[in-house]
A = this chain, B = another copy of it.
Amino acid sequence: MKKIGVLTSGGDSQGMNSAIRSVVRTGIARGYEIVGIKRGYNGLMEKDFIPLGSKDVSDKLYRGGTFLQSARSEEFRTEEGQKKGANNLKEEGIEHLVVIGGDGSYRGAAKLNDLGIKTYGLPGTIDNDLPLTDYTIGFDTTLNVVTDAIGNLRDTMSSHERVSVIEVMGRNSGDIALHAGIASGVDAILVPEQPWDIKEISYKLKDRFNKGKTHSIVMVAEGAGNGEEIAHMIKDHCGLDTRATILGHIQRGGTPSAFDRVFTSRMGHEVIRLIDNDIYGVALGIENNDITYHRFEEIFEAHQPPNTKLYSIFGDLV
């Protein structure tokens, strides 16, 4: 009987639990044994393994975070750590390993694959910063969380004739800022992939207040700049009362959206199909509304171009 390990690594994202559940339930339906590895590669080092049955994932579908927990492991970054990890899996008879996480987690998975463990990557990061997939796990939920938060802020902000600068996650990718910014009808979006000019933005905001607007929102991806600093700069340039809100961990929170639940249910199912077909060393994605897979090397080499088209669509909506 095949034994399949599953772990979540890096920052947690909404939908990870749903992905685990799908691997567990679909795997069990095929007669496989599923082993949960706690706290990412950390648990791999310490053999913190737990058997996962159908009931263990019963209440998990609608919960954010990851019940297997996640943590960084310094040890696993070393070559010895990786060998130890592979050995620990082999000793338990675990031939297949599903790793849910971002780019760093994929690199670890690729190493284990080289060491003889058949590994599968699932794109678990809210930032949408992985190539060869249209969406990453948690991205859709995070957009809804950010959009709801701004919806709640709007009335209080417009009570005081203020500019609100809202800083959202995204160190390398402005996708959260761009999508949530469009969805929230903000007045300016600052992303790391696009140049911006604070003078020009400040001038436009001022112009809008002069024309009767009582409130403006500037959305900032953390990779584009610091929310507090940008708020100060805007205030300096146009004199408007400007406040920064750093959304922080709230963005990782909340119950996964229906999209993230269905999408991860499909991905978990596909992992088991790949195992059945002896395909491995791959990361899964969703492309063209289909679950697809690519070799890890392809992912590492791929370049994700910035969504300039969506950025220009935004320009016409303001």
Query: Interface of A with B (CB < 8 Å)?
Result: 8, 12, 14, 21-22, 25-26, 29-30, 39, 61-67, 69-71, 134, 140, 143-149, 151-161, 164, 179-180, 182-185, 214, 243, 245-246, 248-250, 252-255, 257-259, 261-262, 265-266, 269, 287-289, 310, 313-314, 316-318
Contact = CB atoms under 8 A, between A and B. Distances in A.
Nearest to A318: B25
B143 A258 contact: yes
A147 B317 contact: no
11 contacts: A12-B156, A12-B159, A26-B313, A30-B316, A65-B156, A66-B159, A69-B214, A147-B257, A152-B255, A182-B265, A245-B248
Given A12-B156, A26-B313, A182-B262, 11 more contacts: A61-B183, A62-B184, A65-B159, A69-B158, A149-B250, A153-B253, A245-B250, A262-B310, A265-B317, A266-B310, A266-B313
Copies in the complex: 4
Contact of A153 (B160, B249, B314): B249
B152 A70 contact: no
